[in-house]
Amino acid sequence: MAEVDTLRRFVFERYPFRGQLVHLGPAWQAMMEHHDYPAQVRDALGEAVAAAALLASTLKFEGLLTLQLRGQGPMHLMLVECTEGLRLRAVARFRDPPETRDLRELSGNGTLTVTIENEGAGNRYQGVVPLSGSSMSECLRGYFESSEQLPTRLWLHADGDNVSGLLLQRLPVTSRPVTATESGGGVLPEDEVEDAWRRVQLVADTVTGKELAELDDSKLLHRLFAEDDVRMFESAPVFFRCRCSRERVENMLRALGRKEVDSVIEEFGQVEVRCEFCSRSYRLDAVDCTALFTGPGNPPRPPAAVH
């Protein structure tokens, strides 16, 4: 049995490569509970969820990693957010039930945007690439090849019950201390590292969705990298946790403006805001809405901190 709702890091003892495995079962099912996506949209979103968790855990940041896909196709928006503590939420919007599983067709030749808001350091990074493949893993391959980041590959699988993923990343050789006892001392020749990097990718290309979904981490790593000395670390939990709150809804309504809010009250007697990620519903009556614009907290405060 595969792990559930966990992320596990591993390293290759001989090479400057590291990897991660992620599995979401109950967390993924909870994420999809209030959504009725066609299977193609659900699985594309699931792969993006696995990818976001894997990417977030390769980074040292304190904030939010966002994977966003926008296009003109049947699935015109996909948005996944992951915090540094591996708290995830995700949403997709689609117009027509799509017939394809090709991500470029699904999204209508969309673009993929990766944003990292590092609140700890107070900076923000954003990379935008056109979709360069038929799946999220191929598109991310294009993303990594076109940016000046560490060589990174992902293998992803999603269905109605689980999402899983494998990430491999090649580190700069200098970042890995080589001890005198290791491989006779010194740094490995570059061409040996290059050959090994090519080999581990070819091996990982043989992994099936079923294996990613069903094998536990040690079995999967043994199946793939039996000839390598791979060291696994303790796994970390992954969560579905929405960041919506009444306070955020109130700030959003304040930003919308009193005129707009009053007109909704006039027509419906209340304002109902449903969170698109988790379907939680927030209701404000006329008194609540008046308080929004006259009570404490005015003028509008900046949006509440994420988390």
**Which ranges of the chain would DSSP assign to H, the alpha helix?**
26-32, 39-56, 103-107, 136-146, 190-204, 209-214, 217-225, 246-256, 258-268, 286-294
- Measured from the CB atom, the residue of 2 and 273 that comes closer to Zn ion is 273
Contact 132, 139 (CB under 8 A): yes
Spacing of C-alpha 123 from chain mean position? 19
Q: Nearest approach, Cβ of 231 to Zn ion (angstroms)?
A: 38
275 forms part of the interface with Zn ion (CB under 5 A): yes
Write out the two tokens for 76.
């015109």
Q: Nearest approach, Cβ of 35 to Zn ion (angstroms)?
A: 12
Bridge-based pairing state of the strands 6-12 and 230-237:
antiparallel
Tally of CB atoms within 10 A around 123: 11
How big is the site for Zn ion, counted in residues (CB under 5 A)? 6
Burial label for 238, CB within 10 Å (0-12, 13-18, 19+), is buried
DSSP-assigned beta bridge partners for residue 19: 10, 168
Applying CB under 5 A, the span of 43-51, 119-127, 271-279, 298-306 interacting with Zn ion comes to 271-279
Q: Nearest approach, Cβ of 220 to Zn ion (angstroms)?
A: 33
Q: Show the site string, 240-259: x = touches Zn ion by CB under 5 A, - = not.
A: --x-x---------------
Applying CB under 5 A, the span of 93-101, 127-135, 233-241, 268-276 interacting with Zn ion comes to 268-276
Applying CB under 5 A, the span of 96-104, 188-196, 261-269, 274-282 interacting with Zn ion comes to 274-282
Residue 4 DSSP symbol: S
- Measured from the CB atom, the residue of 238 and 278 that comes closer to Zn ion is 278
**The one among 87, 277, 282, 284 contacting Zn ion by CB under 5 A:** 277
Q: Nearest approach, Cβ of 52 to Zn ion (angstroms)?
A: 17
Question: HSE of 38 in the Cβ direction (CA atoms, 13 Å)?
Answer: 14
Q: Nearest approach, Cβ of 103 to Zn ion (angstroms)?
A: 25
Q: Nearest approach, Cβ of 29 to Zn ion (angstroms)?
A: 16
**Residue-level length of the chain:** 307
Contact 94, 41 (CB under 8 A): yes
- Measured from the CB atom, the residue of 67 and 136 that comes closer to Zn ion is 67
DSSP-assigned beta bridge partners for residue 64: 83, 117
Q: Nearest approach, Cβ of 55 to Zn ion (angstroms)?
A: 22
- Measured from the CB atom, the residue of 9 and 280 that comes closer to Zn ion is 280
Query: Nearest Cα to 25, choosing from 40, 3, 10, 55?
Result: 3
Query: Nearest Cα to 8, choosing from 262, 241, 292, 230?
Result: 230
Q: Show the site string, 83-112: x = touches Zn ion by CB under 5 A, - = not.
A: ------------------------------
**The one among 44, 224, 278, 284 contacting Zn ion by CB under 5 A:** 278
Q: Nearest approach, Cβ of 301 to Zn ion (angstroms)?
A: 20
Separation of alpha carbons 28 and 30, rounded Å:
5
- Measured from the CB atom, the residue of 67 and 278 that comes closer to Zn ion is 278
Residue 128 DSSP symbol: E
Applying CB under 5 A, the span of 27-35, 191-199, 253-261, 280-288 interacting with Zn ion comes to 280-288
- Measured from the CB atom, the residue of 82 and 244 that comes closer to Zn ion is 244
31 forms part of the interface with Zn ion (CB under 5 A): no
Separation of alpha carbons 207 and 166, rounded Å:
9
Residues that bind Zn ion (CB under 5 A): 242, 244, 275, 277-278, 280
